[in-house]
């Protein structure tokens, strides 16, 4: 079955990853020697008052070697990270396949028994393991990295997480965290092939699933009601322009919920693993805003609504 | 050799990440054998740790590139020729700049310039070359002292005021004196045109006619009657207006004659029976005749002025223009005269300069003769006196 071969493939990839990691460490220990030399040269140059051309040339040579080493190290690390991403995507495919298979196997709706705490942990983990964008010198961060918006014709793939604007039962509109099921591009809308749906196949819309299975699960929405969440974290040390800045209006996931609300950025993250600090719009507070709350990079997107509905 | 404080390098600390402390999972995985492998649940932590390593390596790379660039620029500034030459000389040895040699010893040997080089014969070549470069360094420095060109700038700015007058300039002056062709135009008083109220009335009527014509034309477009219709209309309008004008011209209940004509007729004729054609021209002819006979004074000017402010203003400006033009003309004449005088003086001055040169020549000849310890010949003395006298005469002309 497809699932079994996926397993063996995953096992293969894990082995390859292991090898890559070992190679990485070899590379790193090799370049260690040169870095130590550089350190010694620095010390010597700093103790002597004059900088002789001898030292300059020597330093240049050492730097060039170190550069080559650093590049090699970066390459291997990137390969390792790509490998991890590959494994993860395989795992994700496996999960989606299982989900669809499960849907066919029993006509009952999927289990609603995931406890809130478990869901929250999952969300947090997903935010933490969002890959960090580390560009080579001269690279610009791509679309869907941090605050960089998706390109105009971008279509979210099945399994991608998005912020979706849905109409609740009482008529209220809310932005919820959802996962894309499918998209049909016949007429620019999303729809799910092979899924029970009231719409004829050529009405194209996104089909998204509410992450929180307590709510209405499957929604069919047009493209403008769906905002894809970022697929990379932006590194504040190298690409601060890919982060939202202070006072920018965004949609952020309220902590411990699965809904997005309007918020102002209070402070962008300082280190790659840090969260944004945001102020949610909240009429129950005197100044209209909540105290600063932390929201991971994954759950902060640009807000395009001009006014609160 | 440059001082430490001049060094633009920053001497970054290029220590690599201590993975034992920062990346525990990574370290653990390293320790395992291939058989144990990695568990799926470890992927997330591994990912984070690898990202940390990658980001620090990336940062190191960037800093290294920046520092290398600084080093290169710095070296190039401080006499790269020196290094290039050295580099070439040492090609047989080890290339000092390429990063290939991992051993320090080789680099050390290559880097030493004037000191103990890698081979005896080389050092001899090096010494004079180094000295050369020491010298050539200086001329590069010298031009940096800015030249004082203030006096040059001053004379350049004053030059237009003190330069000689050229014949071109005199010609320009003469041209300026010629009266402008359009002078007559400025003094003309244009005749009174149609009064604006009448003109506007006419234009309004025309507009209405046009609109009407256009509306009709749009309806008649298919019949193609547009062109001739509008023309006819304009003519109609004019006729209409003329009729109304003619009517307005007769406030004096029905009397066709002008004021003078009336008075004359009153004096000469008992009743006013007949209608005379061309009453307007009759009126003006009578006026002219009376003025010619001296019975009536030409009184048109003042009467017009009192009511016509525009005319009054126009006359004032014309008078100003006349006065100003006259003034300008006298000045230009004076200027031309002075310029001509100056030109002749310039010629004289030029002759003085030439005479000066001749005197100097004669003087030099006499000095040379004196140096050679012989008395100057009669020829030389005569020449000297001649030139002196010439010069004096020219000067007299000049001052005279």
pLDDT tens digit sequence for B248-279:
554 445 556 677 777 777 787 766 556 666 66
Which candidate, A54, A222, A124, A262, places its Cα nearest to that of B1?
A54
pLDDT averaged over every residue in chain B: 73
- Residue B96, pLDDT above cutoff 60: no
Bridge partner list, A262:
A251
Please report where in the chains the tokens 């989606």 appear, as a residue: A96
Q: Distance between CA atoms of A145 and A239, rounded to whole angstroms?
A: 10
Residue with the larger pLDDT of the pair B301 and B65 = B65
Which candidate, A72, A10, A125, A208, places its Cα nearest to that of B53?
A72
Comparing CB atoms, the residue among B32, B43, B111 nearest residue A57 is: B111
Residue with the larger pLDDT of the pair B229 and A149 = A149
- Residue B114, pLDDT above cutoff 60: no
* Chain A environment of B38 (Cβ under 8 Å): 14, 17-18
Q: Do B96 and A39 touch (CB under 8 A)?
A: no
- Give the model's pLDDT for residue A29: 87
Return the residue of A nearest to B20 by Cα.
A25
Q: Do B16 and A42 touch (CB under 8 A)?
A: no
Residue with the larger pLDDT of the pair A276 and B8 = A276
Among A62-66, A263-267, B113-117, B177-181, the range scoring the smallest mean pLDDT is B113-117
Give the largest CA-CA distance in chain B: 149
Q: Distance between CA atoms of B278 and B263, rounded to whole angstroms?
A: 17
Return the residue of A nearest to B112 by Cα.
A54
Q: Distance between CA atoms of B278 and B242, rounded to whole angstroms?
A: 16
- Residue B140, pLDDT above cutoff 60: no
State how far Cα A11 lies from the chain centre.
Answer: 24
Q: Which residues contact A16 (CB under 8 A, 6 or more apart)?
A: A83
* Chain B environment of A25 (Cβ under 8 Å): 19, 30
- Give the model's pLDDT for residue B131: 46
Comparing CB atoms, the residue among A24, A39, A48 nearest residue B14 is: A39
* Chain A environment of B35 (Cβ under 8 Å): none
- Give the model's pLDDT for residue B57: 86
Average pLDDT score over residue span B9-26? 74
Comparing CB atoms, the residue among A19, A91, A132 nearest residue B51 is: A132
Q: Distance between CA atoms of A299 and A177, rounded to whole angstroms?
A: 9
Mutation site for A-interface testing, chosen from B64, B78, B81, B87 by largest number of A Cβ within 10 Å: B64
- Give the model's pLDDT for residue A299: 94
- Give the model's pLDDT for residue B380: 84
CA distances (Å), origin A306, targets A147, A148, A226, B77: 18, 20, 16, 56
Q: Do A134 and B51 touch (CB under 8 A)?
A: yes
Token code pair at residue A138 = 């001269």
**Do A67 and B61 form a contact (C-beta atoms < 8 A)?**
yes
- Give the model's pLDDT for residue B126: 45
Is residue A270 less than 8 Å (CB to CB) from chain B? no
- Residue B174, pLDDT above cutoff 90: no
- Give the model's pLDDT for residue B183: 72
- Give the model's pLDDT for residue A229: 93
Residue with the larger pLDDT of the pair B139 and A64 = A64
Q: Do A14 and B38 touch (CB under 8 A)?
A: yes
Q: Distance between CA atoms of A115 and A129, rounded to whole angstroms?
A: 21
**Do A242 and A148 form a contact (C-beta atoms < 8 A)?**
yes
Q: Do B64 and A25 touch (CB under 8 A)?
A: no
State how far Cα B399 lies from the chain centre.
Answer: 44
Within the 200-239 window of chain A, which residues sit less than 8 Å (CB to CB) from chain B? 235, 237-238
Record the pTM. Answer: 0.49
Measured in angstroms, the CA of B112 and the nearest CA of chain A are apart by 6
Write the DSSP symbol of residue A213. T
* Chain B environment of A10 (Cβ under 8 Å): 40
Average pLDDT score over residue span B163-180? 83
Residue with the larger pLDDT of the pair B168 and A108 = B168
First to last CA, chain A: 49
Sign of CA dihedral B108, B109, B114, B116: positive
Model confidence over B65-88: pLDDT tens digits? 888 888 888 777 765 444 444 444
Is residue A129 less than 8 Å (CB to CB) from chain B? yes
Mutation site for B-interface testing, chosen from A134, A136, A237 by largest number of B Cβ within 10 Å: A134
Q: Do B19 and A25 touch (CB under 8 A)?
A: yes
* Chain A environment of B26 (Cβ under 8 Å): 21
Tell me the mean pLDDT per 10 residues along chain A, length 309.
70 86 87 85 78 81 88 89 87 79 58 73 87 83 89 83 85 87 62 44 68 72 88 88 91 91 93 91 90 93 71
Query: Three-state SS for A206?
Result: strand
Within the 8-67 window of chain A, which residues sit less than 8 Å (CB to CB) from chain B? 10-11, 14-15, 17-19, 21-22, 24-25, 28, 31-32, 34-35, 37-39, 42, 45-46, 48-67
- Give the model's pLDDT for residue B2: 54
Q: Do B51 and A21 touch (CB under 8 A)?
A: no
Bridge partner list, A197:
none
Q: Distance between CA atoms of A274 and A254, rounded to whole angstroms?
A: 17
- Residue B121, pLDDT above cutoff 60: no
């Amino acid at each position: 079955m497809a699932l079994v071969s996926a397993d063996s493939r995953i096992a293969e990839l894990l082995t390859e990853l292991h090898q890559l990691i070992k190679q990485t460490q070899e590379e790193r220990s090799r370049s260690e020697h040169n870095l130590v030399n550089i350190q010694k040269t620095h010390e010597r140059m700093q103790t002597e008052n004059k900088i002789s051309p001898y030292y300059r040339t020597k330093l240049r040579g050492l730097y060039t070697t170190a550069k080559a080493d650093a590049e090699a190290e970066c390459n291997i690390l990137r390969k390792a990270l790509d490998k991890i991403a590959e494994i993860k995507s395989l795992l994700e495919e496996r999960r989606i396949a299982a989900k669809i298979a499960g849907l066919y196997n029993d006509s009952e709706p999927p289990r609603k028994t995931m406890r809130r705490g478990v869901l929250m942990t999952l969300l947090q983990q997903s935010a933490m393991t969002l890959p960090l964008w580390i560009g080579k010198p001269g690279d610009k961060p791509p679309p869907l990295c941090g605050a960089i918006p998706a390109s105009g014709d971008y279509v979210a793939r099945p399994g991608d997480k998005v912020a979706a604007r849905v109409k609740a039962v009482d008529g209220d509109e809310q932005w919820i965290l959802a996962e894309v099921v499918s998209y049909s591009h016949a007429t620019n809308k999303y729809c799910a092939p092979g899924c029970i749906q009231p719409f004829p196949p050529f009405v194209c819309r996104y089909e998204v699933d509410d992450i929180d299975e307590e709510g209405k699960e499957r929604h069919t929405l047009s493209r403008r009601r769906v905002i894809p969440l970022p697929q990379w974290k932006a590194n504040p040390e190298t690409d601060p322009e890919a982060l939202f800045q202070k006072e920018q209006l965004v949609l952020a996931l309220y902590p411990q919920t699965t809904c997005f609300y309007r918020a102002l950025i209070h402070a962008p993250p300082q280190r790659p693993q840090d969260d944004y600090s945001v102020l949610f719009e909240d009429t129950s507070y005197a100044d209209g805003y909540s105290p600063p709350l932390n929201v991971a990079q994954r759950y902060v997107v640009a807000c395009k609504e001009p006014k609160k509905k | 050799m440059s001082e430490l404080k001049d060094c633009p390098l920053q001497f970054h600390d290029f220590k690599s990440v201590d993975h034992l402390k920062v990346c525990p999972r990574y370290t653990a995985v390293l320790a395992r054998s291939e058989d144990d492998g990695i568990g799926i649940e470890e992927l997330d932590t591994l990912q984070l740790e690898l990202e940390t390593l990658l980001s620090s390596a990336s940062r190191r790379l960037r800093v290294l590139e920046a520092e290398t660039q600084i080093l290169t620029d710095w070296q190039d500034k401080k006499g790269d020729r020196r290094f290039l030459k050295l580099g070439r000389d040492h090609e047989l040895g080890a290339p000092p700049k390429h990063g290939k040699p991992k051993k320090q010893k080789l680099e050390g040997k290559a880097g030493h310039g004037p000191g103990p080089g890698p081979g005896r014969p080389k050092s001899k070549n090096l010494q004079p070359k180094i000295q050369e470069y020491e010298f050539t360094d200086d001329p590069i420095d010298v031009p940096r002292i800015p030249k004082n060109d203030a006096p040059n700038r001053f004379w350049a700015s004053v030059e237009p005021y003190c330069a000689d007058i050229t014949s071109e300039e005199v010609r320009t002056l003469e041209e300026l004196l010629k009266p402008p062709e359009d002078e007559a135009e400025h003094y003309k008083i244009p005749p009174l045109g149609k009064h604006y109220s009448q003109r506007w009335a006419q234009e309004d009527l025309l507009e209405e006619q046009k609109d009407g014509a256009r509306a009709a034309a749009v309806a008649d477009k298919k019949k193609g009657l547009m062109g001739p219709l509008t023309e006819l209309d304009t003519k109609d309008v004019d006729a209409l207006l003329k009729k109304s004008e003619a009517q307005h011209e007769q406030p004096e209940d029905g009397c066709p004659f002008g004021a003078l004509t009336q008075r004359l007729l009153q004096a000469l004729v008992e009743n006013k029976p007949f209608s005379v054609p061309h009453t307007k021209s009759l009126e003006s002819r009578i006026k002219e005749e009376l003025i010619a006979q001296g019975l009536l004074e030409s009184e048109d000017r003042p009467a017009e002025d009192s009511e016509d402010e525009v005319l009054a203003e126009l006359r004032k400006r014309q008078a100003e223009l006349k006065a100003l033009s006259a003034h300008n003309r006298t000045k230009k004449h004076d200027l031309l005269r002075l310029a001509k005088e100056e030109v002749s003086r310039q010629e004289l001055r030029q002759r003085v300069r030439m005479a000066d040169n001749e005197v100097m020549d004669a003087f030099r000849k006499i000095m040379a003769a004196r140096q050679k310890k012989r008395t100057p010949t009669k020829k030389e003395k005569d020449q000297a006196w001649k030139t002196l006298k010439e010069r004096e005469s020219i000067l007299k002309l000049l001052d005279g």
